[in-house]
């Protein structure tokens, strides 16, 4: 069977027309849509096409003939190679409108839902250094921008990398010098650890071969300057582990919570791993409207702290609480939304799959003096049923903040059977949200839609939808 001939088509002097889905821009060539990465409307470019289908093509910019008047210089040296912050050249106002349009496309054009006018996207208070959590992966064969580099011919310092995975390659890591997503000392800690490991001969991890010692690291920060560091090793070596942890602790006294873990699996997820406190406090704490939330090494917390407060404010506004309602907060995480609305509800019931998150939610509620919240752990489709509702009270309001995949059909059925007066659906994926809303709209109508920007310079958008019983 012969291999398909690769596409190699150059389109010259093409004007980019609009922002498209998934962080791309689009134009047309002979009536066919062409999707292009890293382009700005108004750019005149030469496009190298690498995929050609019947109804569309995909390409990359070969040359910018004339930049758009709107094009901004990228602020990050890793732009175009690192997978994040793809919209750096796009003015922020354009980004916000593109996110509102993305929500409209998913809910109205694709989902065929009837919605009121979608509000303008709520802008992030910070557009750089807004993240409170980053993971950096180690690799013994970093991603090289130059073609034909033989990693085996290089020294360890030249060969290894500590940074982000490149595009869709699970085993490719781009060595990061400066990242503009998280405030210091995030960059300084990462660079120190890399240098220490290189100078002391620590083997960086090879995820394909499952070999090496230093695997990855997480940095978590708070708005008032607390820092948590979690360092992951592939196997236990007490002497080397202590040497690294002692060195980073001495160099960065601002690290308030230092953890490590031994991960012998072939993937880097730590949800099923045991974390060990090495030094300092067992958690860091974020505050929101006077509420204090405990964040452990595996806790879920919205990644943009300042914007999370605005997001939850929208959810509370849409819930329209009077103080008499029983509220169910489904997929409650560490109970942030539950506690955020508790002051305006009679009772809040939170449900979450992760037991550790529910443990944190109970601790947070007690520490905040909130006594009208109850939290339960388990798979939503198993926990939320008619018997549970009969025991804990029929909800007047349901707030949903599910994972990207949305809600299980069984959960949707229980919600429809419970018939709360109002619902608030918070989603990080308008596509799955539209699918779920189509089911819920059998008994409900959509009364408000508010996109919220949690991740500037990316195509991602959070969306909050209010529903009322028909």
- pLDDT tens-digit series, residues 58-117: 999 999 999 999 999 999 999 988 878 999 999 999 999 999 999 999 999 999 999 999
Q: Smallest Cα–Cα separation from 231: which of 73, 222, 366, 243?
A: 243
Q: pLDDT-based confidence at 1, cuts 50/70/90?
A: very low
93's CB contacts (< 8 A; 6+ apart) are none
pLDDT for res 145: 63
The CA distance from 401 to 223, in Å, is 23
pLDDT of 371 above 70: yes
The CATH architecture to which 133-288 belongs is Beta Barrel (2.40)
Pairing of strands 227-233, 255-262: parallel
Set 82, 232, 428, 441: catalytic member: 428
The CA distance from 417 to 420, in Å, is 9
181's CB contacts (< 8 A; 6+ apart) are 84, 85, 128, 129, 130, 131, 134
pTM summary value:
0.92
Q: What's the half-sphere exposure (Cβ side, CA atoms, 13 Å) at 375?
A: 28
Q: What six digits make up the tokens of 158?
A: 């030249």
pLDDT of 437 above 90: yes
Residue predicted with more confidence, 1 or 125: 125
Element (H, E) at 187: helix 186-199
Q: Smallest Cα–Cα separation from 46: which of 15, 90, 80?
A: 15
Mean local confidence (pLDDT), 350-354 = 92
Mean local confidence (pLDDT), 267-290 = 92
The CA distance from 18 to 27, in Å, is 7
Task: Tell how far CA 453 is from the center of its chain.
Answer: 12
Q: Please, where in the chain does CATH 2.40.50.140 lie?
A: 9-71
The whole-chain average pLDDT of the chain stands at 93
Q: Please, where in the chain does CATH 3.40.50.150 lie?
A: 97-126+304-469
**428 included as an active-site residue:** yes
Residue 378 backbone zone (phi > 0: left; psi -120 to 50: alpha; other: beta): left
Strand partners, 280: 257
Length of the chain: 470
Separation of first and last alpha carbons in the chain: 58
With contact defined as beta carbons under 8 Å apart, do 419 and 469 qualify?
yes
Is cis: bond before 118, omega within 30 of 0? no
**The domain 9-71: what is its CATH number?**
2.40.50.140
Quickly name the fold that domain 97-126+304-469 has: Rossmann fold (3.40.50)
Q: What's the half-sphere exposure (Cβ side, CA atoms, 13 Å) at 428?
A: 14
Mean local confidence (pLDDT), 210-234 = 96
């Amino acid at each position: 069977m012969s291999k398909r001939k690769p596409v190699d088509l150059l389109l010259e002097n093409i004007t980019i027309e609009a922002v498209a889905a998934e962080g791309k821009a689009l134009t047309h060539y002979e009536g066919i849509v062409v999707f292009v990465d890293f382009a700005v409307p108004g750019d005149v470019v030469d496009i190298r096409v690498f995929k050609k289908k019947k109804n569309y093509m995909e390409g990359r910019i070969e040359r910018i003939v004339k930049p758009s008047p709107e094009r901004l210089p990228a602020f990050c040296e890793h732009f175009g190679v690192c997978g994040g912050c793809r919209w750096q050249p796009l003015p922020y106002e354009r980004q916000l409108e593109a996110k509102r349009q993305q929500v409209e496309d998913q809910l109205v054009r694709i989902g065929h839902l009837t919605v009121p006018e979608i509000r303008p996207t709520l802008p992030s208070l910070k557009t750089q250094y807004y993240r409170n959590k980053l993971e950096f992966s180690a690799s013994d064969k970093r991603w090289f921008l130059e073609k034909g580099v033989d990693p085996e011919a290089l020294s360890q310092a030249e060969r290894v990398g500590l940074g982000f995975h490149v595009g869709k390659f699970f085993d490719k890591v781009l060595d990061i010098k400066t990242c503009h997503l998280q405030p210091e000392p995030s960059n300084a800690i990462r660079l120190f650890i890399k240098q220490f490991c290189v100078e002391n001969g620590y083997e960086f991890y090879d995820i394909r071969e499952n070999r090496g010692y230093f695997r990855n690291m997480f940095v978590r920060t708070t708005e008032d300057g607390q820092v948590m560091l979690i360092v992951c090793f592939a196997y236990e070596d007490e002497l080397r582990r202590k040497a690294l942890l002692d060195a980073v602790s001495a160099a960065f006294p601002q690290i308030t919570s230092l953890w490590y873990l031994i991960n012998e699996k072939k993937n880097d997820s730590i949800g099923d791993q045991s974390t060990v406190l090495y030094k300092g406090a067992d958690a860091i704490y974020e505050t929101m409207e006077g509420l204090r939330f405990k964040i452990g090494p595996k806790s879920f917390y919205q990644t943009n702290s300042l914007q999370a407060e605005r997001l939850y404010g929208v959810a509370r506004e849409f819930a329209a609480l009077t103080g008499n309602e029983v509220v169910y907060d489904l997929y409650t995480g560490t109970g942030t939304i539950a506690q955020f609305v508790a002051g305006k509800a009679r009772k809040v019931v939170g449900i979450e799959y992760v037991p550790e998150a529910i443990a944190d939610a109970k601790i947070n509620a007690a520490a905040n003096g909130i006594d009208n919240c109850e939290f339960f752990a388990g798979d939503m489709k198993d926990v939320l049923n008619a018997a549970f509702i009969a025991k804990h009270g029929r909800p007047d309001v349901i707030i949903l903040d599910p994972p990207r995949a949305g809600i299980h059909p069984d959960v949707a059925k229980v919600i429809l059977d419970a018939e709360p007066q109002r619902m608030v659906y918070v989603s990080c994926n308008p596509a799955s949200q539209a699918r779920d809303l189509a089911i819920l709209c059998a008994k409900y109508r959509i009364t408000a839609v508010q996109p919220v920007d949690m991740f500037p310079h990316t195509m991602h958008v959070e969306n909050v939808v209010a529903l009322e019983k028909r």
